[in-house]
Amino acid sequence: MANHKSSVKRIRQTEVRKERNKYYAKTMRNALKTLRATTNKGEASVQLPKVESMLDKLAKKNIIHKNKASNLKSSIVKHVNSLA
């Protein structure tokens, strides 16, 4: 167990951040999954800007790496463009 007040506080903060980051990451994965499962181009075109915005925000907050966000955006744009 922690011996200092500051380390106790650090443990509390880490737990809160971990839960928050887990929530954001899971929400992102679900959004990507629904977008990739979409076969209608119109519907996918509506979802695309929202998902891209979500990825940019998560990269900005350092929840995911900026290159990972870029790679995911590239792959979903390819998917939307491939729809008939």
72 in a domain, yes or no?
Answer: yes
68 in a domain, yes or no?
Answer: yes
Q: How far apart are the first and last CA of the chain?
A: 58
Global pTM value: 0.84
Question: DSSP secondary-structure letter at 61?
Answer: T
pLDDT at 70 (0 to 100): 97
70 in a domain, yes or no?
Answer: yes
pLDDT at 2 (0 to 100): 79
30 in a domain, yes or no?
Answer: no
Instruction: Give me the domain span that covers residue 61.
Output: 41-84
Q: For residue 62, is it left (φ>0), alpha (ψ between -120 and 50) or beta? A: left
84 in a domain, yes or no?
Answer: yes
5 in a domain, yes or no?
Answer: no
21 in a domain, yes or no?
Answer: no
55 in a domain, yes or no?
Answer: yes
**Structural domain count, the chain:** 1
Q: Rounded to the nearest 5°, which phi and psi values hold at 4? A: -115, 150
Residues of the chain with pLDDT below 70 are none
Cα dihedral value 34, 54, 73, 43, nearest 10: 40
pLDDT tens digits for 9-26?
Answer: 999 999 999 999 999 999
pLDDT at 84 (0 to 100): 77
pLDDT at 1 (0 to 100): 74
